[in-house]
Amino acid sequence: MKKLEQKDEDVSLKIVDSNSIIIKIPRSDLNTKKLVDSLVVSSKVIIEKTPNLIIDIRNNLGGTWEVYKSLFPYLYTNPILTGEGLYRCSKDLIEYQKNNIEIYKKDSTLLKFLPDAQVLLDSMLKYENSFFYSKPDTFKFDSIIPYPQNVVILFNYRCASATEMFLKLCKQSRKVIMAGEKTWGALDNVEAVPFTTPSGKYRLMIPRVKNFYGKNPPLDFVGITPDIRIPVEEKYWVKYVLNYLNKK
């Protein structure tokens, strides 16, 4: 078992050379989404004229895949099918969703999430103390952006949950190349909600969604395998990927 070292990094964009740029996304929380969205908007010209985009998500343990939404126009080559899931609708989870909605109402940057959050709450109320099934969906864009031509997603064993969901969606794009090592494998039960035990001594994280992948097998404790496995002894992953792209 590898040691899970804590990484304290920021969202960033680095120009490697005239052909390649790197966007680093170390976390997947809503605050990080604001940073990613802002970075993508401010770097639009650079992104759309550079042949190779490397998205470095190493050590990203997950949160919400909404963090990556502003990047999808640059990854997109064809309609992308999302997963299906089973939502648990206990009274505690319904209250949790109501609290989320109140938070969204008070923050102008989160208002965009309010309609979907309300739809989810309405469904949970309809199936209170039971479960409701969320059908798979497809999202698509009107056109394919020519550049970047190649998008490499760089990931490692410390990628889990929403980060793995991002990878599953990316695998459907013909532009995307996945490089690194197998992920953690924590995608079957997601959207963990914090609860404190009655004694107050312990804090539990309980998932409220069970994911399904059609005919594909479960991913918990299995993980997602990269297209390009970077050797264990290789220290310079970015350099390794750049060499691959230069030979492509």
**Strand partners of residue 206:** 193
In this prediction, residues 244-248 reach a mean pLDDT of: 85
The tokens for 61 are 């343990």
The CATH number assigned to the domain with range 1-83+137-187+223-248 reads 3.90.226.10
In this prediction, residues 141-170 reach a mean pLDDT of: 95
Asked if 46 contacts 12 with a C-beta cutoff of 8 angstroms, the reply is: no
* Stated pTM of the model: 0.84
Q: Which residue has the higher pLDDT, 218 or 77?
A: 77
Q: Quick check: 5 pLDDT over 70?
A: no
Q: How far apart are CA 68 and CA 224, in angstroms?
A: 18
pLDDT for res 7? 55
Q: How confident is the model at residue 139 (pLDDT cuts 50, 70, 90)?
A: confident
Q: How confident is the model at residue 212 (pLDDT cuts 50, 70, 90)?
A: confident
Q: How far apart are CA 99 and CA 235, in angstroms?
A: 44
Q: Which long-range contacts (CB under 8 A, 24 or more apart) does 211-214 make?
A: 211/83, 211/84, 211/85, 211/165, 211/187, 212/83, 212/84, 212/85, 212/86, 213/83, 213/84, 213/168, 214/84, 214/136
Residue ranges of domains in the chain: 1-83+137-187+223-248, 84-135+189-214
Beta pairing class for 150-155 and 138-139: unpaired
Q: How far apart are CA 206 and CA 183, in angstroms?
A: 21
Q: How far apart are CA 92 and CA 102, in angstroms?
A: 16
The tokens for 78 are 């064809």
Q: How confident is the model at residue 1 (pLDDT cuts 50, 70, 90)?
A: very low
Burial of residue 36, with CB atoms counted within 10 A of its CB: 0-12 exposed, 13-18 middle, 19 or more buried: buried
Q: Quick check: 8 pLDDT over 60?
A: no
Q: How far apart are CA 182 and CA 230, in angstroms?
A: 10
For tokens 């804590």, name the residue: 6
12-27 pLDDT, tens digit each = 999 999 999 999 999 9
Q: How far apart are CA 18 and CA 64, in angstroms?
A: 32
